[in-house]
Amino acid sequence: MIATGPRATVQDLGRPGHAALGVGVAGAADAGSLRLANRAVGNPEGAAAIEAEFGGLRVRVRAPGGLFAAVTGAPAPLTVDGRAEAPYSVLHVPDGAELRMGAPPSGLRSYLAVRGGVDVPPVLGSRSADTLAALGPDPLGPGTVLPVGPPPDGVPLLGVLPVAPPPAGDVELGVVPGPRADWFTRDALHGLFTGEYEVTSEIDRVGMRLSGPRLARAEKGELPSEGTVAGALQVPPSGLPVLFLADHPLTGGYPVIGVVASADLGRAAQARPGQRLRFRPRPAPFLGAGPDDAEERA
């Protein structure tokens, strides 16, 4: 690693299954883009790759015969020893060559996968850096050396990957109301789904602070801490929501008014400061009904 942008980390699909230890899932903020980059170079979908925010990456490859690589997510302009290469396609980086990633014209997080995957030692079954829990590999910086695993059985894809870059304008995201939508006024829910929320400069892998219509609470009590999920729109006393991303805390004590649909979470993670988000209601999954549910409604 010769240089990085504001933040670059190793990510895979995270470490679910350890909540009892106080450990969250983490993993790529835009998991779809990670999967795609891995498929492109013939890796298993969950292999570890580099998640780079705002580009800025400079990497020198040291591998006999060079390395196959692919960049997805934010379409950062690429050069290999000064020669322009396209994102969303498989490129070959010769031994000793420098791969440079410029600033992406849209989107926030680029995924650089190499054939064989980043082979740092796993922690609790994952190579993901959890920046909140300080678990997994340290964030990357100049001088970091990342080992690459043996080539997988899969073959690299040829041609350009069929994928659209993250939008540069407004971003529409589906949101399932709840689990604590009933803690808010009707006006708040209306405001959430009709207003626009701007992504502030306070963004990291834990979440992004949004500015827009304040969401007023109807229920003034204290919520005992409960489990939170990536995509949750948690509303602190300010009334301005925080959209949780991959490294969100396991539990939180502020009510969650809605949760971004899992299919839209990657696009949420690609929104950058100044971009506007519009939330659209999505139906909750059907969960059936138990006797107590009816009682609660009565």
Partner 1 sequence: MRILPNGDAAILVELPDLDAMLGLYAALAADPPPGVADLVPAARTLTLLLGPGARPADVARAVRDARPGAAAPVGGAVTVPVVYDGADLGEVAELTGLSPAEVVAAHTGTPWRVAFTGFAPGFGYLTGGDPRLNVPRRETPRVRVPAGSVGLAGRFSGAYPVESPGGWRLIGRTDAPLWDLRRDPPALLRPGAEVRFVRAGGPA
Contact positions vs partner 1 (CB under 8 A): 16-23, 25, 123-124, 133-135, 176, 178-179, 224-229, 231-232, 249-251, 256, 259-262, 282, 284-288, 290, 292-293, 296
Q: How far is the CB of 295 from partner 1 (least distance, A)?
A: 9
Choice between 143 and 283, CB closer to partner 1: 283
Q: How far is the CB of 57 from partner 1 (least distance, A)?
A: 28
Sheet containing strand 98-101, edge to edge, reads 58-60, 98-101, 78-80, 83-85
Q: How far is the CB of 180 from partner 1 (least distance, A)?
A: 8
The β-bridge partners of 49 are 11
Q: Which of 198, 189, 164 is nearest to 267 (CA)?
A: 164
Q: How far is the CB of 289 from partner 1 (least distance, A)?
A: 9
Instruction: Give the whole-angstrom CA distance, residue 283 versus residue 112.
Output: 35
Choice between 219 and 293, CB closer to partner 1: 293
Choice between 17 and 105, CB closer to partner 1: 17
Choice between 35 and 209, CB closer to partner 1: 35
The residue to which tokens 């995201």 are assigned = 173
What sections of the chain are H helices per DSSP? Answer: 31-40, 186-194, 265-269, 291-297
Q: 242 to each of 32, 135, 197, 258, how far by Cα in Å? A: 22, 23, 11, 11
| Cβ within 8 Å of residue 28, ≥6 positions away | 11, 12, 13, 14, 34, 49, 51, 111, 128, 246
Q: How far is the CB of 5 from partner 1 (least distance, A)?
A: 26
Q: How far is the CB of 255 from partner 1 (least distance, A)?
A: 11
**Pairing outcome for strands 197-203 and 276-281:** antiparallel
Choice between 1 and 132, CB closer to partner 1: 132
Choice between 141 and 253, CB closer to partner 1: 253
